[in-house]
Every structure is written in C-alpha cells, then in structure tokens.
Amino acid sequence: MGFSSLLFIYIFLPANLVCYALFSDIRKKNICILLFSLLFYSWSSPMYLLLMVAMALINYAGALAIEKNRGTKKATLALVLDLTASLGILAYFKYLGFFVSIVQQFGGLTGVIPEIVLPVGISFYIFQLISYVVDVYRKSISADHNFARVLLYTSLFHQCIAGPIVRYKDVANDLRERKTDINSMNDGISRFCVGLAKKTLLANSCASILDMLIPESMSQIGSATVLAAWFGGLMYMLQIYLDFSAYSDMAIGLGKMTGFHYKENFNYPYTAVSVTDFWRRWHISLSTFFRDYVYIPLGGNRKGIARQVFNMLIVWALTGLWHGASYNFILWGIYFFVFLALEKLFLLKCFERMPMLVGKVIGRIYTFIVVFFGWIVFRFTDLSMAGTMVKSMFGLNGNKFTNLETNTMIMNNIIFLMICVAACTPLMKRVAEWLHRKSCTGRISYTYIYNGLNILIPIVLLFLSTIALIGNSYNPFIYFRF
C-alpha cells in the first residue's frame, strides 16, 4: 500500500461506500466493490491486473475440475496442475533472477540476470488462491461456480496487496450475504484510523530515525557508534511491527466498513514469552498457512521427533524464501528454525520448570534478544553488512560507544520511543476495555468519556495522519518487498 494507494483510498473509499450503500442486493454490492477493487489494483500496478485476473481464472477452473472429478485421479491431477501453474508464476516473477544468479555463481556460467518487476501483492493473492483450491480438494469448502465471487475474493482492495492472507472459507458467507450497521462502521473507521496512524506517524518516523542513525552503507554502518547501532536496531524492530500490523489494522477496518470480517493477523508479538509464542502472534495468517498447507501435509509431528524437526526446517526455509529472493531471508528463516527446534526439544521444558514469574521474565528477555538479532539479518540483503552491523553493536569496528550526535538523537526521541513501545503492547486496548466496562455500569461520566473518545480519537488520528502524508514524502513500504 504505497503512497499512491493511500491516496486512492482517500479519494475513492468515500465514493465506494456511497455507491455500496445505494444497493441492497448483494450481487450489486459485490459488483460495486469488485469494480473498485480492480480499479485499486490497476492504480497500484496497471500492468499486472490481467495477471491477477488470469490467476483467479486458473484457480477458479482448477477448483471446479477438482469438485467435478472428486475421488478420482483426475481430481489429484487437477490439483497438481493448478499448484504447478500458481507456484510457477510466483517463482518466475519472484525467484527467477535469484535462481539464475545462483546458477551463474556456482556453475561458472555467464549472461545477463533477468530483471523482472515483482507484481504488487502477488505472494499474498497466489497464496490465497492456493488455499482456496487445496481446501476444495480437502472438502473443507465447495468450489464456487461464480467466477465474479472468486475474482472478488482474489482482488478485495482491503488486503489484496499487503495481506493478511485470507482464506476463502473465512469470507465465503460474507461474499454471499453481509450486512453493515452503525457499530460495524464505527469500529471499522476506528480500526482503519489506528492503522493509518501506526504507519504514517510511528512506522515512518522510526524509519527516518533509523536511516539517520544507520544508513544502508557499509562505511557508515561500520563507523556508527555502539549506542547508535543498538538504538537503530531497536528502531527497525519497532518499525517493522508497526508497519506490518498497520496494514492488517487498515485491512480489518476497511473490511468492517463493507461487511467483511477478517481474522486478526498480529497479537502483540513483542510480549511473547518464547520464540514459539512469538510466531503464534506474528503474521498469524502466514504462519498458519505454512502450518496447514506445508507442515501438516509433510507429516507434522506424527512421524517422530527427527521427522518433525526436518519438517520444521523445510517450513522455515520456505518461510524465509517467501519473504524475498535473497540469501539473508533464507538464513533468517533457518535462524528462527534453530530456536524453534531447541524450544521443541528442551528449552520450553526448562522455562516450565522455573517459578512462573521467573520463567516469564527470562523467557521474554530471551525472546526479545532472539527476535532483535533476527531482524538485523532480515534487514540487510547483503550479509556482510549485517555482520558489520553486529560488529558495530559490540564495538568490534574500533567505533566509539557514543558521541554527541547519537546522544542528541536519542534524547530528542525518547518520548517518541515510549509511545512506540506502548503501541506494541495491549496497554491502550486494556485502557479502552476498562473504560467500556465502566461505561456499561451506567455511570454517565464514564459513558460520556468513552463515547467521546470513540469519536474524537479517530478524527484526531486521521487529521494527523493526513498532515503527515501531505508533508512527508518519505514513505517506506516494507511489505512491497514481498
């Protein structure tokens, strides 16, 4: 969701909602939102709109073929052909250049590495279509005979270019019948405004501070002070959560405005007490996709501990590769596999033997450290730069511990840091829930405060976010790498 996509939402969302509200028939509502979704995707990536439609058509036909031939070898053949087509298209656009570079590097071949532009959101909508076809094959859902509905599912502008990965069975009823009331609309607007503020006010500011402290330049990373390296790493850790979760917040909010109900994609992962717990809370739709469509079909934990660990290795290597065609992403996936395997084998049992409070404190510190260094590997596609960053953090580049510039930068942003940390915890959510409970007791003062804040906060956040978008041309969009 780049700047132009956010601009699209500002311009066309009100028009879409008005158009949508004019129709009572679900078919007309679907046509309305489908047209806006296709226009939205063509606004972001006009060259690849036909590719999205073609992929929706291939998987629509594949699902029908599976259902028609259910229980026969033809159904399995249809599934294999469908998956081959979907994964083949994804591999061509996302990984061909990477694979060619590997062949050249290790095979001694020469030639031009193809530069292929990655279609926006292709990883998300292809994974959605794969889940749809596999679920039809598993008899979890029936194939939809209406191509327009399948195309709408594929292209829903709320989440088609930045997630979360939505399964067809989770929105099947919404595609056929949905209603919106004033409460859903209010909740949707509030959630969207929170997500927009996370992105424009917090994540973008974290990125700006990070780039001033630790620019992606080998010489500048190597000369950064120890304190700057640690603070910069913390800024990236905050940025990537605030950026990723912001998209999900906006998607969930936009969905509620038009009657779609998407599942939560982030559950305050930085409060996790283990790496296993972290991955139950981080990018939930992606983690559960790999669990249900890769890990369990490989055998899951049903074939002994050795096979289970091997299955985990496959899953996490693929999880890393999904994030990008680069060695650092594969290493990042394997890095997390190592800690997840250790926890599966014995580490979680060690935490469980400790007194509850001690175990949770140690678990959170350990998880924070693991995730912190994981994001360093994630950030730098050049692994030598990641190594230089780690050396700077421990003063191994001959760099100073701190200097006036670093101290000034940190002191000027200490309040901002506290706000970002609070935004990564359920603190504000619990305050809102407490106010809601108080308002339900019948005390008028709490009712006025709760209702007033529900109206005021989204307006303020939207106003501040709009000012930030207009006044700041720096809008890094991390999700576009995927």
Which of these, 275, 238, 234, lies nearest to 364 by C-alpha position?
275
Looking at per-residue pLDDT, the higher value among 78 and 32 belongs to 78
Average pLDDT, the chain: 89
Question: What six digits make up the tokens of 449?
Answer: 């405060």
Query: Hey, what's the torsion of the CAs at 442, 443, 446, 450, to 10 degrees?
Result: 20
Which has the closest alpha carbon to 294: 275, 313, 278?
A: 313
Rounded to 10 deg, the angle between the 427-440 and 444-471 helix axes is 150
What pLDDT does residue 1 have?
47
pLDDT on residue 11 = 63
| H-helix or E-strand spanning residue 438 | helix 427-440
Closest CA relative to residue 206, chosen from 416, 473, 465, 460: 416
- Is residue 13 pLDDT above 90, yes or no? no
pLDDT at 108: 67
What is residue 479's predicted lDDT score, i.e. its pLDDT?
55
DSSP 3-state of 181:
coil
- Alpha helices by DSSP H, listed for 258-355, are 275-281, 284-290, 296-298, 305-323, 327-342, 348-353
The three-state secondary structure class of 51 is helix
pLDDT for the residue numbered 220 = 82
Mean pLDDT in residue range 33-37: 89
- Of residues 324 and 59, the one with the higher pLDDT is 59
Give the pLDDT confidence score for residue 44 in this predicted structure.
Answer: 65
Q: Does the pLDDT value for residue 2 go beyond 60?
A: no
pLDDT of residue 474: 57
The residue annotated as part of the active site, out of 158, 283, 323, 436, is: 323
Burial of 169 (0-12, 13-18, 19+ CB in 10 A): middle
- Residue pair 320/332 in contact (Cβ under 8 Å)? The answer is yes
Higher pLDDT, 287 or 473: 287
394 close to 218: Cβ distance less than 8 angstroms: no
Sequence spans of domains, the chain: 3-178, 184-471
Task: Respond yes or no: is residue 323 known to be catalytic.
Answer: yes
pLDDT in tens, 348-365: 999 889 888 888 999 999
pLDDT-derived band at 19, boundaries 50, 70, 90: confident
E runs forming strands in 5-75: none
Instruction: Report pLDDT digits (tens) over 107-126.
Output: 766 667 777 888 888 999 99
Q: What is the mean pLDDT of residues 472-481?
A: 58
Rounded CA separation 8/254 (Å): 13
The predicted model scores a pTM of: 0.92
Write the pLDDT tens digit of every residue in 198-243: 999 999 999 999 988 887 777 788 889 999 999 999 999 999 999 9
Task: Give residue 414's pLDDT.
Answer: 95
CA distance 299 to 362: 32
